[in-house]
Amino acid sequence: MTHDERHAQSTSRLQDYEPIVGKGCIQELKMLAEALSGKVIQTINSTFIGGGVAEILEHMVPLLNQLGVDTRWDVIKGGQEFFEVTKKFHNALHGKNTVTVSPQDFELFMEVSRKNLAEMRFFGDIFFIHDPQPAALIAKKKEIGKKWVWRCHIDLSDPDEQVWNFLRQFVADYDAAIFSAPNFAQKLPIRQFMVTPSIDPLSDKNRELEPDFVESVLRKYGVTSDKPMVVQISRFDRLKDPIGVIEAFEMVRKSVDCQLVLAGGTATDDPESEAVLEEVRKRAEGNPDIHILLIPPESDLEINALQRAATVVVQKSLKEGFGLTISEALWKGKPVVASAVGGIPLQIKDKFTGLLCYTVEGAAYAIKQLLTNPEYAAWLGKNGREYVRQNFLITTQLKNYLLVFLALDRSEDVIYL
């Protein structure tokens, strides 16, 4: 099943990014793409819709093609049971100790992988595989050769040993692995690169919006614009600690009149979301200043509006791959309070581009600081936007992926193209 059959691709054109990132950056991308001409990149993940990976690929694939790099997007097939298993893998790799993965789970994973190996068409010169779900496709390398890159979007800083060892047998056969942060790197016999994920400044989720539209979204969800607004946008997942956010908000609310918006959706590969959402709703019951909003996946403009309406954006994750919502908020010039986990410290340089926290109390203190010092908050927001422009826009990620593909055939530290 190809991407084109399932989902309309992003319509952003490469030249549209020039006013944002500069002419030089676009020229660099073109030169790198030129060096890759003739190669076909086959990128494979588990879903076309929902979650950060699909979101990035949706914008990345058309841009790579516009650059002249022939890139095709495929997804593996897997039923509800398979995704429940891979969700367990995901949690275990994130270091959730409560997860138990049984031998049957591993067997189901292998069975679905074998099925995909048999059914999928492999035609690329470079195979770009995302996350654990399709990782076992590497078995095809023995048969067809070519270059294989495994892109890990998960926080692997403290993975469950059993699951990682199972996965490692596949990863070790790749030519290179890509991680989002330095502490996600593993002991592997292959080259490991660091590529941070990115946001698309022209996507519905990040583009500029009219104030009237922002206002209409607030009205739609019954949120007032009269009070300062603390916002966390993320899918309903325990690792995002929505309960912790409510607790921090309640501490802040004692002395500052403000409201909390917890907004997010669910992904097709995350069966746990519904239960978490229910828990959160229960916890917020009876507090009129807390708004729990279930946003469907295609409501990017609404998410954008909520972020733009925010006074402070929070991301109090317990574990995080990268945390794209941080870059989204920073790009909108918002002051951000976020946990120092996963890839978040890569986006927030404490007290320069945002505030980092470790606890509920720390989060509450930082939120209060920003709500009561709007000038400081604005300064952080301005720095944050600039930092994202330089490092976390889709153009930077595109460049990094092109560089990884180019590095597959070269081992020097300084490469002249």
Partner 1 sequence: MMYYNVSMFPVLDSLKQNWLLIAVPLLVFLATYIVGLWTRRVAFRAFERWAAKQKWEGYRFISETTRSPFLHWFLILGAFLAVHLSALQPAQKALADRVLASLFIISVTWVSIALSERLLRFYIRKVPRLHSSETLFVNTARITLVVVGVLMVLDVWGAPTTPIVVLLAVVILVVAVSFRDTLTNFISGLQLVQSEQIKVGDYIKLETGEGGYVVDINWKNTHIRSLEGDLIIVPNSRLLGQAVINYGRPLKKASKPFRFYTRVHLKELTGLKAGSLAELATMISQVPESVIYYHTHHFFEEHHFLIPEPANDFALWVSNELGCEVLGEKLASIDAFSFPSINALRARIEAIINDYLAQNPDGHRARPGREFHFIKSVSFVLPTPYIAHDLREFVEALKQVSLGSLFYHVFEARLRLKKGVNDFSLWIEECLGDKDLADRIASLDPYNYTLENLRSTIVQLVEKRIK
Q: Where do contacts with partner 1 occur on this chain (CB under 8 A)?
A: 22-25, 27-28, 31-32, 157-158, 179, 182-183, 185-188, 191-195, 349, 352, 383, 386-387, 390-391, 399-400, 403-404, 406-407, 412-417
Least distance from C-beta 23 to partner 1, angstroms?
Answer: 7
Least CB distance to partner 1 at residue 239 (A): 16
Cα separation, 178 vs 192, whole angstroms? 6
| Distance separating the N- and C-terminal Cα atoms of the chain | 36
Asked if residue 95 lies in contact with residue 157, where contact means CB atoms within 8 angstroms, the answer is: yes
Q: Which amino acid is at 308?
A: R
DSSP string, 45-80: ES-SSSHHHHHHHHHHHHHHHHTT-EEEEEE----H
In the complex with partner 1, the residue whose CB is nearer, 325 or 353, is 353
Nearer Cβ to partner 1 (208/413):
413
Q: How wide is the angle at C-alpha 381 spanned by C-alphas 379 and 385, nearest 5°?
A: 120
Residue closer to partner 1, measured from CB, 188 or 209: 188
Which CB, 47 or 180, lies closer to partner 1? 180
CB of residue 350 to partner 1, shortest distance in Å: 8
* CB atoms near residue 24 (< 10 Å): 9
Taking the complex as a whole, the smallest distance from the CB of residue 53 to partner 1 amounts, in Å, to: 20
How far apart (Å, rounded) are the C-alpha atoms in residues 384 and 354?
A: 7
| Angle at 376 (CA atoms; ends 20, 248), nearest 5 degrees | 105
Least distance from C-beta 32 to partner 1, angstroms?
7
Q: State the nearest-atom distance from the C-beta of 31 to partner 1, in Å.
A: 5
Which residue number, 182 or 211, has a Cβ lying nearer to partner 1? 182
Closer residue to partner 1 (CB): 199 or 404: 404
Closest contact distance (angstroms) between CB of 127 and partner 1 is 19
Contacts of 171 (CB under 8 A, 6+ apart): 135, 138, 150, 152, 177, 186, 188, 190
Nearest approach, Cβ of residue 387 and partner 1 (Å): 7
Closest CA to 319 of 167, 94, 157: 94
Q: Which is nearer to partner 1, 26 or 260 (CB)?
A: 26
Place of tokens 């055939």: 409
Give the list of residues 6+ apart from residue 249 with CB closer than 8 angstroms, or none. Answer: 230, 258, 260, 289, 290, 364, 367
CA dihedral 354→360→361→367, nearest 10 degrees, is 40
- Which lies closer to partner 1 via its Cβ, residue 144 or residue 415? 415
